[in-house]
Amino acid sequence: MANLLEVQQATKQFGDFTALQDVSIQVPKGSIFGLLGPNGAGKTTLIRIINQITLPDKGSVYLDNEPLQPQHIRDIGYLPEERGLYKSMKVGEQALYLAQLKGLSKTEAKKRLKYWFDKFDISHWWDKKIQELSKGMAQKVQFIVTVLHKPKLLIFDEPFSGFDPINANVIKDEILQLRDEGATVIFSTHRMESVEELCDHIALINKSKKILEGKVTDIKRAYKSNTFEVGVLTENNTDLYTTLQGKFDVTPANFKTIDDQLKMKITLDNNTSSNELLQYLSSKGQVMRFNEVIPGVNEIFIKTITENE
């Protein structure tokens, strides 16, 4: 798959402080790309470089195989983490203003704004001032302004902060729909469950360096340890547990059940397949649960970061 965005060895220093060190990422066309990392890792600096707000000291950025140029600003929609609107300006006016800054004509901007305002059912806000709206309401307007000019690349920095669960869901669906319509999305967040749900690629940045990048499925495959979570209903739980301990790497597991199962995590060596284990277990009792433990993004995140400390 072709890459919409490629950052090659971007380095940025602020005085003595290194914000980014030789960071490269590849964002495939049509993907939702999660940019993860602890606070102060350099995510915002990388995003600002892509938006041409900050220039890198070294390295280069390609959008659609062209070196990044000023006119590419119009191909990008950016919703920054620190976002706000003019307090004393009317909602409609400033949405129009921001849309025009992205190169839309006034009539076109009006048409598209009407579509989005109707879609979100907020047309009656048009003549209100931002100071009359709540934070979540203002965020909706910001979201519309970000996507209005139909950019090829959308960058969202913590898009769900400030939204209640219902509205967060609305926004999530919109993001997915935009992806389906052909946009590529870069997504920076600390909320791992939304990464799990949305992203198909991720990159992990820590202390100004990229430490992990790839397809979510590939990364998970690399991080899984052939471990299975098992629940068996037997006559004698301790008996089976000790027997298994002799054969595999077994640890007790904890999940909720309604009956008294033997709960454990079994890590297989390369010589045993999961089918063999299942056959063995079913001969010993009634297998109630048998599933592979796949590490969550959250786990991978914490594990890689602590390993890199």
The Cα–Cα gap between 147 and 96 comes to 13
The C-alpha atoms of residue 49 and residue 52 are separated, in whole angstroms, by 5
Shortest CB 130 distance to another protein, Å: 8
Q: Which stretch binds another protein (CB under 8 A): 2-10, 98-106, 109-117, 254-262?
A: 98-106
Cβ proximity to another protein: between 15 and 246 the closer is 15
**Residue pointed to by tokens 């009634």:** 286
Q: Are 5 and 62 in contact (CB under 8 A)?
A: yes
Residue pointed to by tokens 């959308």: 154
* Cα 67 versus chain centre, distance: 25
Q: Please report whether residue 102 would count as binding another protein according to CB under 8 A.
A: yes
Q: Which two tokens stand for residue 148?
A: 């209005």
State yes or no: residue 250 binds another protein (CB under 8 A): no
- x/- string (CB under 8 A) for another protein, residues 138-177? ----x--x--------------------------------
Q: Per CB under 8 A, which of residues 12..41 are in contact with another protein? A: 14-15
Q: Is 83 in the site for another protein (CB under 8 A)?
A: yes
Position of tokens 């909320």? 191
Beta carbon nearer to another protein, 89 or 293: 89
Site size toward another protein (CB under 8 A) is 27
Burial class (CB in 10 A: 0-12, 13-18, 19+), 145: buried
What totals of helices (H) and strands (E) does the chain contain, helices first? 10, 14
Residues that bind another protein (CB under 8 A): 14-15, 48, 51, 53, 70, 73, 76, 78-80, 82-89, 97-98, 100-102, 106, 142, 145
